[in-house]
Chain A
Amino acid sequence: MKFGVVQFPGSNCDFDTFHVLRNVMKQDAVMLWHKDHDLKGVDCVVLPGGFSYGDYLRSGAIARFSPLMQEVKAFARGGGRVLGICNGFQILLELGLLPGAMLRNKNLKFLCRHVHIRVENEKTDFTRAAKKGQVLRIPIAHFDGNYYAPAGVLKDIERHRQVVFRYCDAGGTITEEANVNGSLAAIAGIRNREGNVLGLMPHPERASEALLGSEDGRTIFASLILSLEGRKPARRAAVRKKTGHD
């Protein structure tokens, strides 16, 4: 499978994600430059973590306007798989590909630590290698990861089983203490209604090698690979080229 990792100015997990996709998951991977309009025929676009354009405004607020993101938007609307990690998730929210917004962490500090997340929906393209209710140990590293959505939107995403991960304790119980950034309904990751776009705050690429303390993040990449292998032709046809802004 061919993955494309988007490089914005200020991305800083681009090389990490590329490293894991290529050297750990043994997939074909290319870098995609923010100023280009070319998705290089990839099967899946990954928006990596970092501080795109410095994120001095709102996290992800400027990245959504970059030339390449117009292509990514069209790619996603056509059914292409898009994975947004951390800053990538924030950008997907700004872009409107996922519902909701991010607030500052509840303790108003940057937080870098391992957390536990529970797989809420194992029947997605991003979790099909996981078991129902499986608890993954994956690090977070963010300032703005406190997920928020208006009541109506939350009701909607719950009804459509769009919540894919929630923060939990090591045993899988959702507690206030385990919800380290204060996210609404302890949401750590959501997908769109169609199921081809996922955003999550934890960094699976930082939990993909035993040497670094956890391999739980591989579950997400492995799921993606499985789903891409299964449904490749349908998605290929959906890729559009050089679409303008909408």
Chain B
Amino acid sequence: MIDKKILDQHSLTEDEYRLIVDLVGKEPNLTELGIFSVMWSEHCGYKSSRVHLKKLPTEGKHVVQGPGENAGILDIGDGQVIVFKIESHNHPSYIEPYQGAATGVGGILRDIFTMGARPIAVLDSLRFGPPDDPKNRSVMEGVVSGIAGYGNSIGVPTVGGEVYFDPCYNLNPLVNVFCLGLADKDKIFYAKAEGAGNKVLYVGAKTGRDGIHGATMASSEFGAETEHKRPNVQVGDPFKEKLLLEACLEVMDRGLIVGIQDMGAAGLTCSTTEMAAKGGMGIVVDLDKVPQREAGMTPYEILLSESQERMLLVATPDNVAAVQEVFAKWDLDAPVIGEVVEGGRARISFKGEVVVDIPVDAVVNLCPAYTRPSVAPAPPPAAPALDSLPLPADCGEVLLKLLASPTIADKEWVFRQYDHMVQVNTVFLPGADAALLRIKGSKKALAVTLDGNSLYTRLDPRTGARIAVAEACRNLACVGARPIGVTNCLNFGNPEKPEVMGQFEQAVTGLAEACRTFGIPVTGGNVSFYNDTEGLSIHPTPVLGIVGILDDIRKAVSPGFKAAGDALVLVGESFEELGGSEYLKVVHGLEAGAPPAIDLEQEKRNQEFLLEAVDAGLVRSAHDLSEGGLAVALAESAFHGARKVGCEVDLDEALRADALLFGESQSRIVVTCRRANVGRLLEMAAARGVPAKAIGLTGGAEIAVRQSGRELLRVPVEKACRIWKDSMPGFFEVRA
């Protein structure tokens, strides 16, 4: 009865089907096949990526839990841990931007609180096609309102992130959501069903027909018929999730449960089989006891529904009543739907009949892993020789153009739609190099950043990935924080295309190298393949979420110039590098050349120096150089200052003016210090083998840069700031 057509509908190959028959010991029925199809989908089973992800370092002194659980856990001392992870919700967000993004937030929040942690911050990495296209604007407005609608309501601040624009995301926007939680070390919970005879409770929202096969949908390419998949996108209810969050944290805090797992991708199927497999047990479930939103649902639909805001709990029989009492207080259902049993099988019944009887280990752990064929990515289109590239007539105009370009322009229009202050921990508002959160009752603070320049990764996946890690760590160093752990979201095209697999392999290699250099473990993450629409793949887009710690929050540094008369110091070396730059893209219309080179050891030295200088109290402001290079970094430092102080800079590098001003050479930071401290700062740098030099002073109402005395640009801060601030709203707001 299972034929090729049914297998195609379930995105399973004939080989995979033969393996399933072998593992189950019989021909599976349709419901059982449905279970395998979601659990063995790319989204849940990581079948194309697993062999490569093994390269990533996962161990370190802070690690309490590495990859394999709902989220990674790091020890931050004083009996506390942080729990964090990033997840993609790309496909749903294109089909239905508001709900796709909203449920992306809901899903990652559950991953965090299912481990016993209270979510304290969300950040998003968003990528869209250019905003001059109304379709892209509509997707972006929907995504931003969806994130706001869910996060604001549930009361978890969205404290930062990034928004990038490139035509490669026209038909395939990326929505990657990161969440950070805080827990007591002795109150961590895992997704394990242990102890035969323990009860399985279903809590939260009722099960409906929404989201069936969402995980499978996220594991194939999109075509023009995408609109038909709209019913596959789930609908979020942040209010329900808020109740679920409070109730779950309460039962965990009171030690009333044994294990807990959220129902995310593949819903009830995934949570029951995973909990049983992790506990080395079996599980029996009676589907008639599952709260249902509508009548007449089949076992197939109940098991594969991805209705939101649901969790599965395991509790000892004597605690069931107490658990149910807590959920009743929060007006939530919490029926017992099954039991933990010996034997390693999931036995699921419906109207008195066993409809599923399969070994959980096969479903959860034996999904085949593929070493898919790959070819080295084609070399990037060569940038024209610099000699043939005309120098801009007016570098000031170029700076203003870059400041107005969507990727660089101020994102306040986005961030002000998010409640970024609820929970009263947000020390730096969005826009700083990294988000900074205080920990109440402690001197410590946590810093978080999301980074990834996909143009670099397209031009050279390995270098691009190394830069993503380096830049994220640099952002943390700029606020004074030391990186302690990484989560990543790897967004790529169709892995069945050898060139995409080639990009993936190289990017993972680059990530592994950089994480090793910085000594930071990867504690988990997410792979999103099949980001192809109508045959076109996105740029390979690894997004890094890195968390750092600052021992004394009073030492935190922000990017804005503090006062006139401070000395400006440029840390790091500038080279004649324009490949992959925002300048080439915006001014010359070229996505070409090799991305800037990165020396990871030098990068690390530069960051260590910065942290030492911050610790010594020498640094008044620090801002990393990224898209748009030195000129944009100076401008942003001026804009971020409360007094909008400008600067006068004189550089002596013998580089082309455009490379000097807008080149994106790596490992560079612009720092200010009191004039009296310049000597000490430079000595400290020299002692560490870090190139650094004094390049000028803050002050005045203009950003002015000279090269060996010859003026390259002079722009009023007020005017530049207005252009930078007005750009994004200008795309969305109708002017009278």
Contacts and interface: CB of A to CB of B under 8 A. Distances in A.
Report if A and B associate in a common complex.
yes
A103 B448 CA distance: 35
A13 interface: yes
B331 A9 contact: yes
Contacts of B575: none
B417 interface: yes
A197 to B, nearest CB: 24
Interface stretch (A39-47, A106-114, A160-168, A232-240): A106-114
Contact of B238 (A19, A49, A54, A110): A54
B198 interface: no
A229 interface: no
B557 to A, nearest CB: 14
A65 B420 CA distance: 30
B188 interface: no
Contacts of A112: 152, 415-421
B237 interface: yes
Contacts of B351: none
Nearest to A114: B429
Given A211-B438, A211-B553, A19 B424 contact: yes
A16 interface: yes
Interface string B235-261: 001111011000000000000000000
Contacts, number: 84
Given A13-B155, A141-B419, A20 B330 contact: no
B422 interface: yes
B733 A54 contact: no
B418 A16 contact: no
A110 to B, nearest CB: 5
Contacts of A56: 239
B176 interface: no
A112 B152 CA distance: 10
Given A13-B422, A206-B421, A50 B155 contact: yes
Given A110-B148, A141-B152, A16 B239 contact: no
A12 B156 CA distance: 8
Interface in A12-62: 12-13, 15-16, 19-20, 23, 49-51, 53-56
A139 interface: yes
A216 interface: no
A71 to B, nearest CB: 19
A16 B423 contact: yes
Contacts of B330: 9
Q: What band does the interface of chain B fall in when counting residues whose beta carbon is under 8 Å from A?
A: 20 to 34
Given A9-B331, A113-B416, A212-B426, A139 B153 contact: no
Given A54-B237, A212-B426, A9 B242 contact: yes
Contacts of B331: 9
A118 B142 CA distance: 35
A158 interface: no
Contacts of B148: 110
B440 A141 contact: no
Contacts of A15: 423
A215 B609 CA distance: 34
Contacts of B420: 112
A177 B145 CA distance: 23
Interface in B417-448: 417-424, 426-427, 429, 438, 440
Contacts of B553: 211
A19 B155 contact: no
B692 to A, nearest CB: 30
A51 B427 contact: no
B177 interface: no
B154 interface: yes
A16 B422 contact: yes
A13 B242 CA distance: 13
A215 to B, nearest CB: 12
A51 B153 contact: yes
Nearest to B445: A211
A16 B424 contact: yes
A124 to B, nearest CB: 25
B155 to A, nearest CB: 3
A110 B238 CA distance: 16
Given A56-B239, A203-B421, A107 B152 contact: no
A25 to B, nearest CB: 13
Contact of A53 (B239, B416, B417, B438): B239
A19 B421 contact: no
A209 to B, nearest CB: 7
Contacts of A16: 422-424
Interface of B: 145, 148-149, 152-155, 237-240, 242-243, 330-331, 415-424, 426-427, 429, 438, 440, 553, 733
19 contacts: A9-B242, A10-B243, A13-B422, A16-B423, A23-B440, A50-B155, A51-B153, A54-B237, A54-B238, A111-B416, A112-B152, A112-B419, A112-B421, A141-B152, A205-B424, A206-B424, A211-B427, A212-B426, A213-B427
Given A16-B424, A20-B424, A213-B427, 9 more contacts: A10-B153, A51-B152, A53-B239, A110-B419, A111-B417, A112-B416, A112-B419, A139-B421, A212-B421
Q: Which 6 A-B pairs have the closest CB atoms?
A: A12-B155, A54-B239, A51-B153, A141-B419, A16-B424, A112-B419
